[in-house]
Structure 1
Amino acid sequence: MNVLVTGGNAGIGYFVAERLASAGAAVVLGSRDAGKATAAARAIRDRVPGASVRHLPLDLADLPSLKSSVDSIVQLDAVVLNAGVALDDPPRRETADGHELMFATNHLGHFALVHWLGPLLGAARIVTTGSFAARTERLDLDDLQSFDAYDPKRTYGRSKLAQMSFGFELDRRLRAAGSRCLSVVVHPGGALDSLTPARAGVHVRSASQRLLGLPAGLLLHGKDSGARTAVHAVLDPDVRGGQLWGPRQFGLRGAPHLEQPHAHMTDPDTAEVLWRRSVELTGVDPMASLVSAGPS
């Protein structure tokens, strides 16, 4: 099994890659930072001797670069759309293309990436990583890039909601086209660094940080546990397209659990407008390549 994990060099993406490698998958780490990807690959091999893991240079904020980025990939059984940017403070930041950075990286980059990966996916699983933060947000379809009202936390939540909306809409379109690809949406719950085990060169956790994080462990978990939903969506044969998987306990921690998505995440009218605007902003349509690739 060949799996691409975007943002696989750090955080939840790293632990998704580590767990998949432990299950025998050949893992491709999509990352714009070669040094961090090398460290992540080394950490995985230290824990999984003989693991097949390599780096794919990938910068989701640089839309024109994505087509050539995937040239070295021959075939994929799954792609985990995980990479993301979360800014804590103003001012609003833009990519070189003039797109708001979080919306561009978290949503537009993945939207375009699926288009360029389309011919390589066959009957693959496309797993989109959303966020608990999307529950309380709503998309402003007249201001998707937060020109008028920029608040970092709100903009981040909306960018993750856009990802989730895309994942559910992608499933609807794949089903209508008779595709064998599956689009599944997941979220990691409340995943904290202080509850995440250390990995050499990837994540450092001091004894004091571990102790300070213990009380939070009653409700939340580490990024290693948060990765379980995406791994489940990739590997479990009973997973179906259009599903949402999150942690079992209050959606915040625990084993993967099938959730009922909130109505605003699956609203087809909102998704239709978001899809159309995303095509306009990226210049590509994922379904064009997925359908032209044909069944496999």
Structure 2
Amino acid sequence: MSSTSSTLPWDVQRPRRADDSVFLVTGGNAGIGYFVAEQLSTTGATVVLGSRNPAKAEVAMASIRARVPGARVRAVRLDLADLSSLETAVESLEMDCLDAVVHNAGVALDAPPRKETGDGHELMFGTNHLGHFALTQWLMPLLSAAPTARIVTMGSFAARSERLDLDDLESRKDYQPKRTYGRSKLAQMYFGVELDRRLRAAGSTVASVVVHPGGALDSLTPSRPPVHVRTTGARLGAAPAALLVQGKHAGAWPAVRAVLDPAVRGGQLWGPRVFGLRGEPRSQPVWTHLTDTSVAARLWDASCDLAGVALGTIPG
């Protein structure tokens, strides 16, 4: 891409073309992930929806095709809570290279009891963080085969006020659902920042970028029936909140820009422009606690042990 085109203003309504590119969006069948997939599909790229529910993935693909004529979209069964299934899931992609992955899928529980994955990990930490951590190992050869691939990790504004307990990463001693969710997203964000640090040290062409959607509410999200249906009552009731937060379609903007914009750099944090809660995406200072390399390194080593992967070696 020319230097002139790379400095043009970013238009969230008309993302740049990405013909011949292939992007994977985990959790692309619902929520913010659906809108990331829908928006990326307007660029001419092939978009793969990673979903643990094939039926929901079919519904999401039909919705995208109805809104984006000629959309090149397909699905792969992907269950991040089942670590042993991830290698097979990546093999089923049947591709030689991958231009970007958006680590978006997530589980959020609002109330006890504490739940575990089939592998015995706390459900939110095991799915949101360990699942993506392990998936990255299997995707790395495909990403490294692309000219300039990107790994985009979807964090959360809720993680800003959290801190990791490295001695209780899986909340076995003190489980509070909302805090555990925030910490699982914080772990993802630490991973995204540390991953780029290691990619740079290895001289890799792959870049890792961290994003967050700000405040993204269902009630401010446009309808995409049957994927998402917003009632008139919900729309009217949420109108005052639109001054501070936004819908999930706008929450997708930072991830879409991180995938497509050549001005985005590895190791950066992108989020909404207005107080980090709403508006068009922009680069933001990396949160101070995310710059703690000792915490990041300890989390990385613990994640390798817990997920049973050897992500210590990053290919150049």
Which residue in 1 is equivalent to 2:61? Answer: 41
Contact 1:116 1:286 in 2 (8 A): no
Amino acid corresponding to residue 12 of structure 1 in structure 2:
I
Aligned positions, number = 291
Partner of 1:102: 124
Of 234, 239, 244, the residue aligned with 2:264 is 239
Q: Distance in 2 between matches of 1:263 and 1:175?
A: 20
Task: Give the alignment of 1:135-214 within 5 angstroms.
Answer: 135-214=160-239
Once the two structures are superposed, the pairs formed by residues 113-132 of structure 1 within 5 Å of their partners are 113-122=135-144, 123-132=148-157
- Quote the Cα distance in structure 2 between the aligned partners of 1:101 and 1:50: 37
Amino acid at match of 2:118: A
In structure 2, what is the equivalent of residue 254 of structure 1?
279
| TM-score normalised by length of structure 2 | 0.91
> 1:269-293, CA deviations, whole angstroms, 9 ceiling, x for partnerless residues?
00000000000011113353x41xx
CA distance in 2, matches of 1:155, 1:165: 15
Return the alpha-carbon distance in structure 1 between the equivalents of residues 177 and 131 of structure 2. Answer: 19
CA contact 1:118–1:286 (8 Å) conserved in 2: no
- Counterpart amino acid of 2:197? R
**Percent identity between the two aligned chains:** 67
Greater mean alpha carbon deviation, residues 69-78 or residues 162-171: 69-78
Tell me the distance in 1 between the aligned counterparts of 2:100 and 2:116: 30
CA offset at residue 266 of structure 1?
A: 2.2
Kept after mapping to 2: 8 A contact 1:194/1:210: yes
Give distance in 1, aligned partners of 2:290 and 2:80: 23
Give the letter for the 1:252 counterpart. L
Give the TM-score of the pair, scaled to structure 1: 0.97
> 1:5 touches 1:28 (CA, 8 Å); kept in 2?
yes
Could you report, residue by residue, the CA deviation over 1:208-227 in whole angstroms, capped at 9, with x for unpaired residues? Answer: 01000111000000000000
How far residue 261 of structure 1 moved from its aligned partner, in angstroms, is 1.5
Measured in 2, the distance between the counterparts of 1:248 and 1:257 equals 6
Matched, 1:92 2:114: yes
Structure 1 unmatched ranges of 5 or more: none
Distance 1:195 1:235 in 2: 25
What secondary structure sits across from 1:95 in the alignment?
coil
1:54 aligned counterpart, secondary structure: strand
Q: Which residue of 2 aligns with 1:29?
A: 49
Per-residue CA deviations over 1:48-91 (Å, capped at 9, x if unaligned) read: 01101011100000000001011122121000000000000000
Q: What's the counterpart of residue 23 of structure 2?
A: 3
- Structure 2 letter corresponding to 1:274: L
Residue-by-residue CA offset, 1:251-276 (whole Å, 9 max, x unaligned): 00000011002111221000000000
TM-superposition CA deviations, 1:180-213 (whole Å, max 9, x none): 1000000000000000000022001110010001
Mapped partners of 1:144, 1:137: distance in 2: 12
Aligned with residue 76 of structure 1, among 98, 101, 109: 98
Could you tell me how far apart the structure 2 residues matched to 1:69 and 1:201 are? 26
Distance 1:130 1:28 in 2: 20
8 Å CA contact 1:115, 1:287 repeated in 2 = no
Q: What are structure 2's unaligned runs of at least 5 residues? A: 1-20
Partner Cα distance (1:286, 1:32) in 2: 24
Q: SS of the counterpart of 1:79?
A: strand
In the alignment, the residues of structure 2 paired with residue 24 and residue 137 of structure 1 have an alpha-carbon distance, to the nearest angstrom, of: 38
* 1:25 Cα deviation from its structure 2 partner: 1.5
> Which letter maps to 2:82?
D
Where does structure 1 differ by over 2 angstroms across 4 or more consecutive aligned residues? Answer: 285-288
Write the letter of the residue equivalent to 1:19.
Answer: Q
> What SS does the aligned partner of 1:168 have?
helix
What are the Cα deviations for residues 82-141 of structure 1, in whole angstroms up to 9, with x where unaligned? Answer: 000000000000011110000000000000000011110023100000000011000000
